[in-house]
Amino acid sequence: MITTQRSISGSSQSPRSPSSQPYLSVSVTDPVKLGNGVQAYISYRVITKTNLPEYQGPEKIVIRRYSDFVWLHDHLFEKYKGIFIPPLPEKSAVEKFRFSSEFIEMRCQALDTFVNRIASHHELQQSEDLRTFLQADEETMERLMSQETGIFKRKPADLMQIFKDVQSRVSDVVLGKEKPVEESNPEYEKLKHYIFELENHLAEAQKHAYRLVKRHRELGQSLSDFGKAVKLLGACEGNSLGKVFSDLGTKSETLSDKLQKEAHQLLMNFEEPLKDYVRSVQSIKATIAERANAFRRQCELAETIKLKEINLNRLILIRSDKVGEAEFEYNQLKAESEEATRMFEKIMRLMNEEIVRFQEQKTLDMGIAFHEFAKGQARLANGIATAWRSLLPKLEACSSS
């Protein structure tokens, strides 16, 4: 299997030696705003390092934009039925946030995670579309996208609507609002229930993580405002009390900086990973919808074959001159049915493998995210306690004089 070298934060690292086992290392870096007005967009540098013979060389650097990542995602989703395709970060619908430094950093990190999940997947890493994405120049990518037809020609907003429709249909099936033909499999029902429960719990955890980030920022801003006010108060006093107030104000502003930095770390290393797993569960739901479609297709073809067989036998009995045509249609339909059955069985097999892989990766990633959260909170609490403790002798001396 091809390996990838990645750090805990998700960025790729160079392999230790060129003679090591086969590897594929990818990093998405250096976001740059290009263009103006409604034509403005962010470009990213995608760096690939590999010793695989099917690639053009040991290192390749290309420039990609968000729509190129969408191209890769959509092609993989269409070609790899049954596999959980890693999710993309959402487009920002609010113009003023679209080019904020924080949004761009979050987007870059999410795109790096997206590509590396593909590069580390034992089947997706073999994709010709991945090689094209990682190696083709910008002109080639633009030409490929301009030649798209069918679902690939749709705009991201159209694809998002399709995805929402799929989610709605799956939800209706699970909640019993619709009664389409569906497989009766206790293990599969258990899986669907688990996925919907997981999505709800992850979304709830992410919502509260967002509130924690917001609380840190608000407290940091309050400390900054308090620090400024106390320093002004100290300037009015102009004696030993004024010096203590000045020190208190300076310490408050220092702690404000700590809180703002910790809020950013909390956002990138805790809230964003939770949000990413909410998106991952939505990708699994899209695969569940594909499985349901494959099962319905298989059942519909099986029923149609029965009718065709009855009709064919009737034509044979009456020695109709349409027997040849009916026999051709029957055999053609039978071949389609066999292919639909093979596709459904393949999706079932792949989903069973994918859910095991997903749970293993989730355990690892969530363990890292919660460890980073606890470590950050402990670091912040210690920093705040140390800062206030350092002021106590001065404040005690001032209050006792």
Question: Do 240 and 301 sit in the same domain of this protein?
Answer: yes
Range of the domain at 39: 24-146
Q: Report the CATH number at residue 110.
A: 3.30.1520.10
CA 387 and chain centroid, separation: 38
Give the number of C-alpha atoms closer than 13 A to the C-alpha of residue 291, restricted to the C-beta side: 27
Q: Greatest CA separation found in the chain?
A: 119
pLDDT score, position 145: 86
Average pLDDT, the chain: 87
In the chain, helix, strand, coil percent, each to 5?
75, 10, 20
Number of domain units in the chain: 2
Side chain identity at 194, as an amino acid letter? Answer: Y
Beta bridge partners of 41: 34
Checking if the pLDDT of 293 tops 70, the result is yes
Question: Do 239 and 381 sit in the same domain of this protein?
Answer: yes
| pLDDT tier at 376, thresholds 50, 70, 90 | very high
- Compare 236 and 340 and report the one with higher pLDDT: 340
Question: Which residue from 57, 167, 170, 44 is spatially nearest to 115, judged by alpha carbons?
Answer: 44
Cα–Cα distance for residue pair 269/10, rounded to 1 Å: 10
Query: Does residue 8 form part of some domain?
Result: no
Query: Which of 76, 111, 146 finishes a domain?
Result: 146
Query: Which of 123, 146, 169 finishes a domain?
Result: 146
pLDDT score, position 306: 93
pLDDT score, position 157: 52
Per-residue exposure over 17-34, b if at least 16 CB sit within 10 Å of its own CB, e if not: eeeeeebbbbbbeebeee
Query: Does residue 142 form part of some domain?
Result: yes
CA angle 126, 127, 131 (to 5 degrees): 100
Query: Does residue 13 form part of some domain?
Result: no
pLDDT score, position 375: 95
Q: Label each residue of 55-114 as H, E or C.
A: CCCCEEEEEEEHHHHHHHHHHHHHHCCCCCCCCCCCCCCCHHHHCCHHHHHHHHHHHHHH
Query: Does residue 152 form part of some domain?
Result: no
115-121, long-range: CB < 8 A, 24+ apart = 115/26, 115/28, 115/46, 115/69, 115/72, 116/4, 116/6, 116/10, 116/12, 116/26, 117/86, 118/72, 118/76, 118/86, 119/2, 119/4, 119/24, 119/25, 119/26, 120/3, 120/4, 120/6, 121/83, 121/86
Side chain identity at 89, as an amino acid letter? Answer: P
pLDDT score, position 96: 56
Question: Do 78 and 219 sit in the same domain of this protein?
Answer: no
Cα–Cα distance for residue pair 347/295, rounded to 1 Å: 10
Q: State the distance between the two ends of the chain, measured CA to CA, in whole angstroms.
A: 73
151: tokens are: 């679902």
Question: Which residue from 116, 107, 144, 108 is spatially nearest to 48, judged by alpha carbons?
Answer: 116
Question: Do 220 and 337 sit in the same domain of this protein?
Answer: yes
| pLDDT tier at 336, thresholds 50, 70, 90 | very high
94: exposed, middle or buried (C-beta count within 10 Å: 0-12, 13-18, 19+)? exposed
Checking if the pLDDT of 14 tops 50, the result is no
Question: Do 325 and 395 sit in the same domain of this protein?
Answer: yes
Give the three-class secondary structure for 23.
strand
68: tokens are: 């190129």
Give the tens place of pLDDT for each residue, 92-102.
655 556 788 99
Query: Does residue 253 form part of some domain?
Result: yes
- Compare 147 and 383 and report the one with higher pLDDT: 383
Query: Does residue 345 form part of some domain?
Result: yes
Task: Supply φ then ψ for residue 22, to 5 degrees.
Answer: -55, 135
Checking if the pLDDT of 344 tops 60, the result is yes
Conformation bin of residue 105: beta by default, left when phi > 0, alpha when psi is -120 to 50: alpha
Checking if the pLDDT of 220 tops 60, the result is yes
Question: Do 236 and 339 sit in the same domain of this protein?
Answer: yes
Question: Do 126 and 223 sit in the same domain of this protein?
Answer: no
pLDDT score, position 89: 93
Give the tens place of pLDDT for each residue, 173-195.
555 555 567 788 889 999 999 99
Give the three-class secondary structure for 116.
helix
Q: What is the mean pLDDT of residues 335-340?
A: 95
Cα–Cα distance for residue pair 323/156, rounded to 1 Å: 48
Cα–Cα distance for residue pair 61/177, rounded to 1 Å: 50
Question: Do 129 and 261 sit in the same domain of this protein?
Answer: no
Side chain identity at 39, as an amino acid letter? Answer: Q
Question: Which residue from 115, 111, 145 is spatially nearest to 130, judged by alpha carbons?
Answer: 115
